[in-house]
């Protein structure tokens, strides 16, 4: 799942609407907290998890160390039996790092770094790595090691991962064995909503030795059913189409 709406999401929307160059937020990206709405979204999703049959609730929670993701995980876990949970913070689940483009809007990137703006459009987001930052391929590389950890330490468990938009998309690329073109098409079709769930279940009949089968994609019904607004704002550091 992606974290709830953050204060950075709100600041980005305001900056983009005003055609500004820089997002007005003082914290490091890692320190950006949830907005009030993000807290409500996280709480609504936690109540939904608690409403599931015991055999379907998470037994393991892995979350990004970024404040907005950690806060989301904590809101969800308030509704669950903490004694039955294994909880770990994992830096490999952090959002894509944007380097020199951090906190810049599309207008800001085009104004401050026109060469990088052009290079990004030429290379494409999957392979483009801004100075001091990461490409999607870099994120995928560290997530491969997360998958190894899950297979080694949590086989047979129900694992909830609380992370970020690019992280969710890159997990989809790995779990569903997608191509660059396929995952970028999903990304073009729309952002990952805040507090949405994309889920997989092991299917012993899939593949040669069994594989993960997709069950839910960007599932936001728990928010809609409680009247909690659904938001799809990008993370604070990520320029649109980054």
CATH of the domain at 49: 3.40.50.1240
For residue 240, what pLDDT is reported?
Answer: 43
Q: Do the domain assignments include residue 98?
A: yes
Domain assignment present for residue 31? The answer is yes
- Is 68 annotated among the ligand-binding residues? yes
pLDDT of residue 137: 97
By residue range, what is the domain housing residue 204?
Answer: 7-225
pLDDT in tens, the chain (242 residues): 999 999 877 666 666 666 776 767 777 889 999 999 999 999 999 999 999 999 999 999 999 999 999 999 999 999 998 888 999 999 999 999 999 988 888 888 898 999 999 999 999 999 999 999 999 999 999 999 999 999 999 999 999 999 999 999 999 999 999 999 999 999 999 999 999 999 999 999 998 889 999 999 999 999 999 999 999 866 554 444 45
Does residue 71 lie in a domain region?
A: yes
| Tally of structural domains, the chain | 1
CA distance 160 to 54: 14
Question: Which residue from 180, 212, 172, 216 is spatially nearest to 198, judged by alpha carbons?
Answer: 216
Q: Are 185 and 205 in contact (CB under 8 A)?
A: no
């Amino acid at each position: 799942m992606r974290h709830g709406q953050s204060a950075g999401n709100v600041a980005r929307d305001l900056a983009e609407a005003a055609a500004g160059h820089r997002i007005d937020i003082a914290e490091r990206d890692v320190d950006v907290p949830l907005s009030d709405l993000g807290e409500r979204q996280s709480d609504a999703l936690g109540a939904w998890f608690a409403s599931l049959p015991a055999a379907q609730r998470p037994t393991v929670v892995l979350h990004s160390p970024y404040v907005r993701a950690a806060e989301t995980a904590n809101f969800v876990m308030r509704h669950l039996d903490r004694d039955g949970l294994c909880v770990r913070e994992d830096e490999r689940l952090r959002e894509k790092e944007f380097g020199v483009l951090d906190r810049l809007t599309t207008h800001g990137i085009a104004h401050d770094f026109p060469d990088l703006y052009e290079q990004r459009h030429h290379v494409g987001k999957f392979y483009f790595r801004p100075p001091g930052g990461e490409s999607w391929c870099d994120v995928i590389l560290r997530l491969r090691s997360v998958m190894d950890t899950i297979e080694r330490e949590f086989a047979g468990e129900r694992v909830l991962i609380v992370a970020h938009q690019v992280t969710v998309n890159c997990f989809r690329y790995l779990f569903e064995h997608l191509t660059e073109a396929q995952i970028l098409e999903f990304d073009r079709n729309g952002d990952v909503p805040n507090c949405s769930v994309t889920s997989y279940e092991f299917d012993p009949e899939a593949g040669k030795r069994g594989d993960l089968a997709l069950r839910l994609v960007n599932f936001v019904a728990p928010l809609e059913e409680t009247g909690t607004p659904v938001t799809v704002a990008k993370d604070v550091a990520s320029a649109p189409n980054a």
